[in-house]
């Protein structure tokens, strides 16, 4: 769902903030071989895992940046056409700074796992005058056995918010 919300283009320049294990950078790297992906991750061990995953899938267009957003964003070599924000407590500050780098028609996708983050992202999009805002909520269930029956146990929802920078 997150990849669909990014609405990738062949030469996408993606900033993935809070890149985790590198799922998004690896997938985008494979889908957009002419693109450039910057995976920003503050945890050194996790950043090394992203590098290993890129090697494992032979992805050459991902650059891993070890650092915390928004402080490290000025180090990135290219402005983004797409930004994915998968973490970061100063989400409003991150969105504000990212927006300054984003060109017209650029797109931001951010995830929220709680109401506070959902509100902060939504409020930031409003203040930034983002356009074409969409909110998608995932509903994931796990199959669990209880006694002789199998039930679907709900997993906490994730919200995916997206918006574009348009005049």
Is 167's pLDDT higher than 90? no
pLDDT band for position 151 (50/70/90)? very high
Contact 16, 40 (CB under 8 A): yes
CATH of the domain at 41: 3.40.50.150
pLDDT band for position 25 (50/70/90)? very high
Is 89's pLDDT higher than 80? no
Contact 24, 84 (CB under 8 A): yes
Contact 24, 1 (CB under 8 A): no
pTM of the model: 0.92
Q: How many domains does the chain have?
A: 1
For the segment 41-48, the average pLDDT, to the nearest whole number, is 95
pLDDT band for position 42 (50/70/90)? very high
Strand order in the sheet with 107-112: 62-66, 36-41, 13-17, 82-85, 107-112, 159-164, 131-137
Q: What pLDDT is stored for residue 87 in this prediction?
A: 73
Upstream peptide bond of 46 is cis (omega within 30 degrees of 0): no
Task: Identify the domain containing residue 121 by its residue range.
Answer: 2-164
């Amino acid at each position: 769902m997150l990849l669909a919300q990014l609405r990738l283009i062949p030469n996408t320049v993606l900033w993935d903030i809070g890149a985790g294990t590198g799922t998004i950078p690896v997938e985008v790297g494979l889908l957009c071989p002419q693109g450039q992906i910057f995976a920003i991750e503050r945890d050194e061990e996790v950043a090394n895992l992203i590098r290993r995953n890129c090697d494992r899938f032979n992805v050459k267009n991902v650059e891993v940046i070890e650092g915390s957003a928004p402080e490290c964003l000025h180090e990135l070599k290219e402005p983004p056409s797409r930004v994915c924000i998968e973490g970061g407590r100063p989400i409003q500050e991150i969105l504000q700074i990212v927006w300054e780098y984003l060109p017209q028609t650029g797109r931001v996708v951010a995830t929220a796992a709680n109401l506070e983050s959902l509100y902060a992202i939504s409020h930031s999009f409003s203040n930034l005058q983002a356009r074409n805002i969409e909110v998608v909520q995932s509903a994931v269930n796990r199959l669990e056995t209880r006694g002789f029956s199998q039930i679907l146990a709900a997993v906490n929802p994730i919200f995916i918010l997206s918006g574009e920078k348009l005049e």
